[in-house]
Structure 1
Amino acid sequence: MTVAGFTVPRQFSFTNRPYAAVDDATDAPLGLDEIDRRVRWLLDLIGAAQSELVFRLWQPATFDVLAAGRDGQGRKLPMQGHVAAARLGWNPTYPPGVYVPSRVTRVVTAQAVGTLRTLAYRDNAISSLSARFDPVTGRIAAPTTAGECVPAGYARGVVRQLAARSRGTGSGGGPTTCLRITDVQTPPTSAPMARLSAADRQLSQITVTDAVMTLTVKLPTTAAPTGRAHWRRVRLIAAIPPHLHTRAITEWHLPTLVLDHRGVLLRCAATESVRAPDLTSGSTAVGVDWSPATLGAAAIVTERPDGLVSDYRGFTYDDRGLGIKLARLQAEGQHLHRKAARLTRLAATAPPEVRTELEEKIAVLDAHRAAVGVKRGKINRELAFHFARHIVEYAAAAGAAVIGVEDLSTLETRGHGRVNNNRAAQSARRKAVDALAHTAAGVGVTVVSVPARGTSALCPGCNDTLSRPGGYHRAWCARCRVGGNRDHVAGVNLAKRALLGRSRVVRKRGQNPQIRVTEHAPVRQCRDKKSPTPSRPRHRRVRRSVPTATPRAGVNQIRIVPAPRASVWDTVKPAAPSHGVTGSRDVLTSPASAPSAADSMRFK
């Protein structure tokens, strides 16, 4: 338990872009286009070496070593990926004649070992599921030990892979064999990036003074460096985003270098001091329920000496139609994937001239699918932080100390139709939980995960099954005579479970606090106003002065009035205009004339 008034460190991430570059040895200014080329050469070297190393280690023996966590001499493997790779003898190879510093090799091995360690869990799960898989029925047997339990969604995906493999090999009635991840999947491919935090000061270092971040990194001067003279230090200068100027940041961490369509992007991280959360300090909780129709709904429960009370009037988040757009984009991406897979199967047996044409179509489909994925990622992020801001403002106005959200690992989206299942299975909910936890920590509110089973079906007062007199979206309890929107009733149940289980919170590193025990206490309806009145922003109406035309005599005019234009971003403040230099990116700018951080730096 934490003590009120104390502060705790918290890490967060944000993105940044350099507006100037200087050669560290000669102090000569460099153009940003030149920096883009050098960073691309660095990422090409790292990406090729990482792919070659992962492909060479793609065998069951590698995952056996990672699962055991011991090297050849029985010593425990260290947490640092590059140290573990050096102890196991996993070294990348480069093209003949190419010189790469040892610190860059550290970045390669750290990223490769991190990827393989993540897949070690999947290898164990696939081995357990394949041993219990029946090729005849296409089902898996029930687990016998706790170690064999895996999430239901992941199990369904593995069962589909096992069924497709059994059909392809013609072993539909053969005996069950224990498969590994190397038998059912190919080596993964990762986006080109350079995690500078895996190296030391010989490769990169960072300094922050007067709201200006200076990153010194060693970059190659040619695509195939042959010696140390082809690696030179460069200082990348970037402005700190304005929303970080007033925060108590105690440490700045080395960023990750990536390239996008705009050039070099720095994925930075920092540590700040925030107020220590105290779950026992307040007597009010907010419950957030996920909904297929919208992203989520919230309700408030207050603890009094005479019991728990709630007004059963919740707050429904208005996503301005972005949820439907995400569902459409996801369906479009799935359609493109199926079409590309079908063309791939046709190209395997097609004549050479037809195969060339099909491969061109497949490349177009893959590019279109990648663009759809990028668009979904942007909408997910904007929707998640917009939702988090509204929920945190709602909780802060009510004086809540804890926000209870549904545990996403227990959220099953089945039996509600193809459209609703697709809407509920969006990655926006995972991003919304992270954004909500980050935003709530800034005001001293703790986000906890509570069990989701029965929250929409049970009465918060008597714990009996609710009836649906008005359809699926309505709930009513004849005994307690309470009800309303089913999402609001579920929010009351979630807030109740967060209040009752806050003294038995399970904390795991890298995860939000969890409440695993479901307790019941009657929540009676109180007519006192306990929840804030949510704001209802309206769309802006755009008036345009149009010269009136003189109607002709004797003609009946039909007046057509266009509808007012509305934007889904009416509640989002527009970014500050950029004052940077337009034109070629080789034109150097001074710190005073750097582009606005709100335009090029997006907070994560």
Structure 2
Amino acid sequence: MNGPESTAPRQFAFTTRAHMAVDDATDEPIGLDDVDTRVRWLLDLIAAAGAELTARLWQPVTFDVLAAGRDRAGRRLPAQGHVAASRLGWNPHYPDGIYVPSRVSRVVTAQVMATLRTLAYRDTAITALSERFDPATGRIAPPTAAADRVPLGFARGVRRQLLARARRTDGAQSTRLRITDVQGRPLTSAMARLSAADRQLAQITVTDRELVLTVKLPTSPAPAGRAQWRRVRLTATIPAHLHGRAITDWHLPTLVLDRRGLLWRCAATELVPDCDLGSATVAVGVDWSPSTLGAAAATTENSDGLLSDYRGFTYDDRGLGTKLARLQAEGQMLHRKAARLARLAATAPPEVRARLEEKIAALNEHRTAVGAKRGKINRELGFHFARQVTDYAEAAGAQVIAVEDLTTLETRGHGRVNNNGAAQSARRQAVTALAHTAAGVGIAVVSVPARGSSAQCPGCDEPLARPGGYHTAWCSSCRVGGNRDHVAGVNLAKRALLGKGKVTRRRGQLPAVRVDERAPVRKSRDKTSPTPPRPRHRRVRRSLPTTTPRLGVTPKQNVPAPQASVWDTVKPAPLQGDAGSRDTAVWLTSSVGGLPSSTRPSPTPATPVADSMRST
């Protein structure tokens, strides 16, 4: 039984970069550019071997073996990918004359096995769906067994693949298709998961807030023997937000190369407060909304039953949702334009085709940049949302945060543009960030059924009326209502509290409540949920400036801004000069002989500058 001060281990990820490198045998410093080159040689060897192994295993018998989970002797395949591949005889091949340590082969097989095991589920689903697919009508018949059911979004994707294959084959289709028939083999990424190896290839130690990684790297692009593999000690600074945390273990990182050089994708294990779901009395429900990322509301359980004040918290994305929608539209436009140029290049003369291919390459590069920007904004949005919801739940005294089950959630009925935008929102990334952030304060995150959460009354489970449009809800019998998303949050929190004794746990997934139990939620006369802090614009001035006006300068009027800025934080900035804006403060400084208006001091970086170690 868990005690009040019990803890539980959990893993989390972070990134860092090396700022110093030395040769492990001679202790001579090595330039970081040289390290990047040697890591690139290592990644090229791993990527080439992984691509060759994947191409060799891309056949139906491979997925039959993975689905059965047994080797040739009938023994169960182990969870470690490189051990399972060794038992099955799936070993990578290298060109003649190239020597690669066996631990590097472990990294290759572990990465390939992880990809193939993920696709084994898709192969089984494609086989079941292809048997019910009719090429003439383009429809998939409903399943007859519960085991054949798959998420609707997954079924739609497979249906598009089956339709594309039917068009290529003029409708000629066998009754049983495999994943190798409808799609090509997956591409392998250039990365090295050192966690699959042992101390002979890499080891990591912690010394004085620094991580020291000792890894064996090649000294040439085609090493011919062991002498051309040498150990290098890489030193990186532990990020400041990890200082003081109860970290019990540091795991070997995954090495990748980006435009700035070598990047470590690290993982660590820390102790966090444990939460006993069976004793939870306060829960916060998070409803995914088409207008914003999400909204939350609290429900309390006591001796009299369930109660709530039906007041919630709506997340303010600070304009990031609008920016994401613009970037999404821009990426789709670039994709359409590149596809149109590709069709024109197919029948164009050679000289015109060359120019069109250059334009297509530029469009694809621009589209990749837009996708990278969207990924960064989605990550920022997810963790900011997680922080806001966790603070709300902690202020409410909640032990559980209930989120809608994303596998049963489908956006529809809001138009093509809105459906597409909501479907591509970073909900799953926000759930992962929420589970990580909430675990740090001892709050568990569980998934609950999503059906009917916005349409049913939490008190009587009858359909809600919409007297004020889509965003309002009202129950005439219970005399409760308010914001539609807040009412849905009450429903989700109710389902978490009623099903806390029937939680199912699966490896790699959130704890889930599968049963939707019914019980009335009474409206509390007292306020039971916290009031979130209201964001305040930086340029708003509630009082007159206390500084003495400068001679010869006409101050601006202090007028509050009518709307919060997109990028400003919630904390107001201190008064600067006579006027209430940062731009005027910079102008005043330049007018009295200070720094020029184009000079802006930058903060001191938290980590040492790695560029100083770059070799020339």
Structure-1-length-normalised TM-score: 0.90
Paired position in structure 2 for 1:8: 8
After TM superposition, list the pairs within 5 Å mapping 1:84-483 onto structure 2: 84-171=84-171, 174=172, 177-483=175-481
Which amino acid letter does the alignment assign opposite residue 23 of structure 1?
Answer: D
Q: 1:326 to 1:61 in 2, by over 3 A?
A: same
Q: Is the 8 A contact 1:33 1:585 kept in 2?
A: no
Q: Is the 8 A contact 1:410 1:451 kept in 2?
A: yes
Q: Of 577, 591, 603, which aligns to 2:604?
A: 577
For residue 504 of structure 2, give the secondary structure of its aligned residue in structure 1: coil
Could you tell me how far 1:546 is from its partner in structure 2? 11
Could you tell me how far 1:579 is from its partner in structure 2? 6.6
Distance 1:549 1:237 in 2: 53
Q: 1:186 to 1:358 in 2, by over 3 A?
A: farther
Distance 1:455 1:561 in 2: 39
Distance 2:45 2:66 in 1: 26
Q: Of 513, 517, 520, which aligns to 2:518?
A: 520
For residue 531 of structure 1, give the secondary structure of its aligned residue in structure 2: coil
Is 1:29 aligned with 2:54?
Answer: no
Could you tell me how far 1:581 is from its partner in structure 2? 6.7
Distance 1:360 1:126 in 2: 37
Could you tell me how far 1:253 is from its partner in structure 2? 0.6
Paired position in structure 2 for 1:63: 63
Which amino acid letter does the alignment assign opposite residue 78 of structure 1?
Answer: P
For residue 30 of structure 1, give the secondary structure of its aligned residue in structure 2: coil
Q: Is the 8 A contact 1:403 1:445 kept in 2?
A: yes
Could you tell me how far 1:212 is from its partner in structure 2? 1.2
Q: Which runs of 5+ in 1 are unaligned?
A: 551-559, 589-604
Distance 1:572 1:50 in 2: 50
Distance 1:282 1:18 in 2: 44
Paired position in structure 2 for 1:595: none
Could you tell me how far 1:5 is from its partner in structure 2? 2.6
Could you tell me how far 1:502 is from its partner in structure 2? 0.7
Could you tell me how far 1:99 is from its partner in structure 2? 1.6
Q: Is the 8 A contact 2:537 2:561 kept in 1?
A: no
Q: 1:579 to 1:6 in 2, by over 3 A?
A: closer
Could you tell me how far 1:563 is from its partner in structure 2? 9.3
- 1:466-523 CA distances to partner (integer Å, 9 max, x unpaired)? 1111111111111111111100010010111111111111111111110011111111
- 1:509-559 CA distances to partner (integer Å, 9 max, x unpaired)? 111110011111111111211111110121211999999799xxxxxxxxx
Q: 1:178 to 1:354 in 2, by over 3 A?
A: farther
For residue 29 of structure 1, give the secondary structure of its aligned residue in structure 2: coil
Q: Which of 1 and 2 has higher RCO (CA within 8 Å, sep 6+)?
A: 1
Which amino acid letter does the alignment assign opposite residue 368 of structure 1?
Answer: H
**Bigger mean CA offset, 25-34 vs 575-584:** 575-584
- 1:179-221 CA distances to partner (integer Å, 9 max, x unpaired)? 1111111111132100001111110000012211100000111
Q: 1:262 to 1:519 in 2, by over 3 A?
A: same
Distance 2:552 2:510 in 1: 61
Is 1:42 aligned with 2:42?
Answer: yes
Distance 1:463 1:341 in 2: 49
Distance 1:264 1:565 in 2: 39
Paired position in structure 2 for 1:499: 497
**Bigger mean CA offset, 414-423 vs 340-349:** 340-349
For residue 404 of structure 1, give the secondary structure of its aligned residue in structure 2: strand
For residue 253 of structure 1, give the secondary structure of its aligned residue in structure 2: strand
- 1:351-396 CA distances to partner (integer Å, 9 max, x unpaired)? 4333323322222222122111111111111111111111111111
Distance 1:264 1:427 in 2: 30
Distance 2:309 2:75 in 1: 59
Could you tell me how far 1:239 is from its partner in structure 2? 1.2
Distance 1:26 1:571 in 2: 52
**Bigger mean CA offset, 540-549 vs 236-245:** 540-549
Q: 1:512 to 1:317 in 2, by over 3 A?
A: same
**Bigger mean CA offset, 303-312 vs 538-547:** 538-547
Q: Is the 8 A contact 1:215 1:236 kept in 2?
A: yes
Paired position in structure 1 for 2:587: none
Q: Is the 8 A contact 1:132 1:176 kept in 2?
A: no
Q: Is the 8 A contact 1:323 1:423 kept in 2?
A: no
Which amino acid letter does the alignment assign opposite residue 148 of structure 2?
Answer: E
**Bigger mean CA offset, 324-333 vs 363-372:** 324-333
Structure-2-length-normalised TM-score: 0.89
Is 1:586 aligned with 2:603?
Answer: no
Distance 1:489 1:167 in 2: 47
Could you tell me how far 1:585 is from its partner in structure 2? 4.0
Which amino acid letter does the alignment assign opposite residue 437 of structure 1?
Answer: A
Distance 2:258 2:65 in 1: 36
Distance 1:515 1:564 in 2: 40
Distance 1:15 1:73 in 2: 42
Q: Which runs of 5+ in 2 are unaligned?
A: 574-601
- 1:397-450 CA distances to partner (integer Å, 9 max, x unpaired)? 111111111111111111211232123212511011011111111111111101
Distance 1:280 1:563 in 2: 47
Which amino acid letter does the alignment assign opposite residue 538 of structure 2?
Answer: R
Q: 1:481 to 1:548 in 2, by over 3 A?
A: farther
Q: 1:583 to 1:9 in 2, by over 3 A?
A: closer
> CA-atom RMSD, angstroms?
2.5
Could you tell me how far 1:148 is from its partner in structure 2? 1.4
For residue 197 of structure 1, give the secondary structure of its aligned residue in structure 2: helix
Q: 1:349 to 1:123 in 2, by over 3 A?
A: farther
Could you tell me how far 1:175 is from its partner in structure 2? 5.9
Could you tell me how far 1:339 is from its partner in structure 2? 3.3
Could you tell me how far 1:567 is from its partner in structure 2? 4.8
Q: 1:259 to 1:508 in 2, by over 3 A?
A: same
Paired position in structure 2 for 1:568: 567
Paired position in structure 2 for 1:594: none
Instruction: Among all aligned residue pairs of Structure 1 and Structure 2, give the percentage whose two residues are the same amino acid.
Output: 70
Could you tell me how far 1:293 is from its partner in structure 2? 0.8
Could you tell me how far 1:346 is from its partner in structure 2? 4.0
Which amino acid letter does the alignment assign opposite residue 22 of structure 1?
Answer: V
Q: Is the 8 A contact 1:327 1:422 kept in 2?
A: no
Distance 1:441 1:162 in 2: 42
Which amino acid letter does the alignment assign opposite residue 251 of structure 2?
Answer: H
Q: 1:509 to 1:30 in 2, by over 3 A?
A: same
For residue 459 of structure 2, give the secondary structure of its aligned residue in structure 1: coil
Q: Is the 8 A contact 2:211 2:236 kept in 1?
A: yes
Which amino acid letter does the alignment assign opposite residue 41 of structure 2?
Answer: W
For residue 363 of structure 2, give the secondary structure of its aligned residue in structure 1: helix
For residue 19 of structure 1, give the secondary structure of its aligned residue in structure 2: strand
Which amino acid letter does the alignment assign opposite residue 87 of structure 2?
Answer: R
For residue 165 of structure 2, give the secondary structure of its aligned residue in structure 1: helix
Which amino acid letter does the alignment assign opposite residue 604 of structure 2?
Answer: P
Which amino acid letter does the alignment assign opposite residue 299 of structure 2?
Answer: V
- 1:35-54 CA distances to partner (integer Å, 9 max, x unpaired)? 11111111111111111211
Q: 1:468 to 1:566 in 2, by over 3 A?
A: closer
> Aligned pairs, how many?
577
